[in-house]
Amino acid sequence: MDIIEQRLGVPPHIAGPAATFAFFAFFLLKKMGLFTNTNHFPVEGKTILITGASEGMGLAAAILLAKKGASLILVSRNVGRLEEALVKVTAAARSPSKQRFTYISADVSEPNYAESVIAQAIAWNAGAAPDIVWCIAGLSSPMLWADPANDSIAATRRNMDVNFFGSAEMSRAILKEWLAPENKPKDTGVIGQKPEPKHIIFTASMLALFAIVGYGPYTPSKWALRGLADTLNMELRMYPDHPVKIHVVYPGTITSPGLERENKTKPQITLELEKEEPAESPETVAERAVKGLEKGQYNVTVSTLGDLMRCGILGGSERNNWVWDTVVGWVVPVIYFFVIRIMNAQVAGWARVNGHPHVKKAAA
């Protein structure tokens, strides 16, 4: 170091601290993934089961993963749409001679649906369980919670059945299979090298990071997924010989048939608050989600805004990067100080202009 300092003409009292700063800066950036190309989510040759795969983000994710060399099991209710999706996914195959594709028709809101789906998947996959399960199936029923014209409780039960229980039952069914003692992964034969982990991916929403008016029936189901994921993330450390990784993806507004359906009942104040948020295509969201998974992220956001929200509400959740997430987590509350007040003022102002929601509907 002394020779380098002399040749560069750097004074020792500056070179020492500078070298220390450079070392820690490099270490931090490396931890953030800027100096590594490690893929923590390799899918080539793997079998992936995706729920909600007949349209929107689910279909886009399936096509993207087919391009990366995975075999796919598509799960959804509508057989007609599944058949159309299967054609698109098959056409996207990276290695058609090696990859295989099929679909299973199932309603994720039906109790005990998942064990039957996993059994069918194993039978099709030559007796082996899927390597990765991605729960994307979901719906949103936006409405004002207290409006007597709406049955918000019934809508909430429906949202919980599809969004939460649909994913929860699937995670339990596949974990029972993966964690069975007889299904312990084979030793790699390389000293210090562990078997590749299985992956369960839940699909939540940015609304599980920041709630807004109009999503009372929907938002709790996505917050519940966060709680389940955090719990499983800790519980699975009890099975070190059966490695499983948990992930949660937080998309924002997606241009899909689902968005068209939810906009039919969405309150005007909700549309007003959302108008500045650009809707992303299913393909963009799927691509960003997969990139986050490849980086090994636990909570996967697909936008800068979503990442800020993630850092602001982590609590006891796993961090993607402890230094970055902590620093940003200190800043976000300052931003929220203004954002929450602005949004609350928008809601109050809308009410002053448009009147009591119940009275307005009764008059109409």
Report the catalytic residues: 218, 222
Q: Three-state DSSP class for 239?
A: coil
Start-to-end Cα distance in the chain: 81
3-state DSSP: the chain helix, strand, coil percent, rounded to 5?
55, 10, 35
Beta strands in 306-358 (DSSP E): none
User: Residue written as tokens 């931890």?
Assistant: 31
Contact 250, 299 (CB under 8 A): yes
User: Could you give phi then psi for residue 254, rounded to 5 degrees?
Assistant: -120, 135
Place of tokens 């007040």: 341
Structure token pair of residue 312? 């602001």
Residue 154's alpha-carbon distances to 43, 55, 81, 158, 211, in angstroms, are 39, 25, 27, 6, 20
∠ CA 148-153-159, nearest 5°, is 130
CB environment 90-117: b (16+ within 10 A), e (fewer): bebbeeeeebebbbbbbebbeeebbeeb
b/e map 59-78, b = 16+ CB within 10 Å: bbbbbbbbebbbbbbbbbee
Nearest to 236 by CA among 174, 313, 163: 174
Contact 264, 141 (CB under 8 A): no
Long-range CB contact pairs, 299-306, < 8 A, 24+: 299/247, 299/248, 299/250, 300/247, 300/248, 300/249, 300/250, 301/206, 301/249, 301/250, 302/249, 302/250, 302/251, 302/252, 303/206, 303/252, 305/206, 305/252, 305/277, 306/206, 306/209, 306/250, 306/251, 306/252
Nearest to 132 by CA among 300, 56, 245, 271: 245
